[in-house]
């Protein structure tokens, strides 16, 4: 037990060294040696301590040290660690770390492994208000179902005219499937088409110039204390620690810069409060302005109506 306490102290010291750029690679090398020597006979508590430090290596690589030499050191650690851990969740996380390290080092020579990693990510649920759900994403709205079904039907009818459904069994099955979906949703889709329902355009990516100007702060002890004990990045779900770099949105919510950039490219909204950044799409920005003005007019009309009701009471 005393020897395990000494190993835990050594792990704590190595975790501190990970925060110093000039000591990072030496700390990772020492961690690999310690893992090799002590993990096989370690208690559950000590194994958790090892895993915590390994996760910290992954976080530091994503948020602070992005040079190939650092990623190469991390890759070696992740590949060694995955051969030791037995917890399924830990193995999955390490697989993701290995995939990301290989991607950064341009070592994507196993397409099937990369595809499986992507499938695993797709099956993890979806991010809603800063929390990763367990369930699958809820059904699409009617207007999106309408658009997707009609687009699929158009593609199939185009294939029919160029190839002929009678000679292509696969296309025939696909067509039957899409037409069956159209029939099942007919009562919902047709009224929307007739009334021209409120179809909002897809939100374009955030302006790269706007994203580049977002302030980056380094977490101090005071900031961490204000954020609370279990503060984490709402995108990658990693716990925040001293000296982490965080990028701040105008809504004052903060995230790791490497996590936030791809998120804004795909969603362009704060994962917590849904605040939208400005885009480079002039048509979309004009639509937003029109919607804002229309909303103000609706509110004004509603207030005027309520005022009239009071006058005649």
- For the chain, the structural domain boundaries read 2-124, 142-195, 208-266, 282-313
Is residue 116 predicted with pLDDT exceeding 80? no
At 186-239, the pLDDT tens digits run 544 454 444 444 556 778 888 888 888 999 999 888 888 888 878 888 888 888
Is residue 176 predicted with pLDDT exceeding 80? no
Least confident piece of the model among 79-83, 221-225, 239-243, 305-309: 305-309
Least confident piece of the model among 26-30, 164-168, 180-184, 207-211: 164-168
pLDDT band at 123 (very low <50, low <70, confident <90, very high): very low
Least confident piece of the model among 58-67, 145-154, 238-247: 145-154
What does the alpha-carbon distance between residue 150 and residue 221 come to, in Å, rounded to a whole number? 55
Contact indicator for 242, 59 with CB cutoff of 8 Å: no
Q: Kindly write down the DSSP assignment for every residue of 171-197, as one continuous string.
A: HHHHHHHHHHHHHHTHHHHHHHHHHT-
Name the one residue in this structure whose structure tokens are 């750029």.
Answer: 21
- The CA-based diameter of the chain, rounded to the nearest angstrom, is 86
Contact indicator for 39, 50 with CB cutoff of 8 Å: yes
Is residue 305 predicted with pLDDT exceeding 60? no
Tell me which fold the domain 208-266 belongs to.
Answer: Herpes Virus-1 (3.30.40)
* Most confident of the ranges 252-256, 282-286, 297-301: 252-256
Average pLDDT over residues 59-75: 85
Contact indicator for 143, 199 with CB cutoff of 8 Å: yes
Distances (CA, A) of 255 to 9, 166, 242, 261, 301: 30, 54, 14, 10, 40
Name 247's bridge partners.
216, 255
Task: Let me know how many helices (H) and strands (E) the chain has, helices first.
Answer: 13, 5
């Amino acid at each position: 037990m005393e020897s395990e306490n000494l190993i835990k102290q050594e792990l704590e010291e190595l975790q501190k060294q990970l925060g110093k750029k000039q000591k990072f690679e030496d700390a990772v090398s020492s961690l690999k040696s310690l893992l090799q020597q002590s993990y096989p006979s370690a208690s559950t508590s000590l194994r958790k301590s090892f895993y915590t430090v390994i996760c910290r290596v992954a976080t530091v690589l994503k948020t602070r040290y992005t040079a190939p030499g650092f990623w190469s050191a991390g890759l070696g650690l992740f590949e060694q660690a995955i051969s030791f851990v037995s917890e399924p969740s830990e193995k999955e996380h390490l697989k993701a770390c290995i995939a990301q390290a290989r991607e950064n080092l341009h070592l994507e020579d196993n397409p099937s492994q990369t595809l499986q990693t992507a499938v695993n990510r797709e099956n993890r649920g979806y991010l809603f208000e800063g929390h990763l759900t367990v369930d699958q994403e809820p059904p699409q709205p009617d207007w999106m179902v309408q658009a997707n079904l009609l687009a699929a039907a158009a593609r199939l009818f185009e294939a029919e005219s160029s190839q002929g459904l009678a000679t292509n069994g696969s296309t025939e099955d696909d067509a039957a499937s899409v037409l069956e979906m159209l029939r099942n949703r007919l009562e919902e889709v047709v009224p929307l088409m007739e009334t021209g329902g409120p179809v909002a355009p897809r939100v374009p990516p955030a302006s790269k110039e706007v994203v580049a100007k977002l302030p980056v702060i380094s977490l101090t002890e005071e900031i961490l204390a204000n954020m609370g004990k279990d503060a984490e990045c709402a995108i990658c779900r990693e716990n925040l620690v001293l000296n982490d770099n965080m990028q701040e949105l105008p809504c004052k919510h903060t995230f790791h810069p490497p996590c936030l950039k791809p998120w804004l490219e795909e969603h362009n909204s704060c994962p917590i409060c849904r605040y939208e950044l400005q885009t480079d799409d002039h048509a979309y920005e004009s639509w937003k302005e029109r919607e804002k003005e229309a909303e103000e007019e609706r509110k004004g009309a509603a207030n005027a109506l309520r005022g009239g009701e009071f006058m005649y009471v």
